[in-house]
Amino acid sequence: MVTAGVGVSIVPESTTCRLRVALPFSVVALDEQCSSHELKLVSRLRETLAAPVHQLLDALARMRGST
């Protein structure tokens, strides 16, 4: 769904490393103190995203910066 441009996904970092070779997408690190895993937010390349997705990513980045 991510590479088709209809969604975002939260996946383990190891998944992003494996898929990055074959698929074009952006990765945003998430700082979730309750998680025992390092999580990443995956989307298509940022410049190809719709405005609402930009807003979501910006809001998540602000949340990450406020912790």
51-63 per-position pLDDT tens digit: 888 888 888 888 7
SS3 state at 10: strand
Q: How many domains does the chain have?
A: 1
- pLDDT tens digits along 25-45: 778 777 766 656 666 777 788
CB-CB neighbours of 61 under 10 Å: 14
Residue 29 inside a domain? The answer is: yes
What global pTM score does this model have?
A: 0.41
Residue 31 inside a domain? The answer is: yes
Residue 3 inside a domain? The answer is: no
Domain of residue 45, residue span: 9-65
